[in-house]
Structure 1
Amino acid sequence: MSIESVTYKDYSLCNPNFINGIEFLKRGMFSQACHCFEMAYEKTSYTDMHYNKYASFCGYTRVLNGDRGGLSICREVARNELYDGDVFYNLAKSEWHFNDRKRTVDVLLQGMEVDYMHPGMRDLRKKINMRKKTPIGFLPRNHALNNKLGKLFRK
Structure 2
Amino acid sequence: MNSTEVAIKFSLGLEQLSFDIDGQHFQVDKGLSFIQSNSMRHGVLDVLAIELMIYVIEEILESVPIPYAQAKRAISADALFQQVLTLFFPNQHSIDRVQFESGFNAFIERREYYVCKVAEQGVFSLVYFVFLREMMHHWNVIDIKYESLETAQLH
Q: State the TM-score, normalized to the length of structure 2.
A: 0.27
Greater Rg over alpha carbons, structure? 1
Bigger RCO of structures 1 and 2 (CA < 8 A, at least 6 apart) = 2
User: Larger helix proportion, structure 1 or 2?
Assistant: 1
User: Larger strand proportion, structure 1 or 2?
Assistant: 2
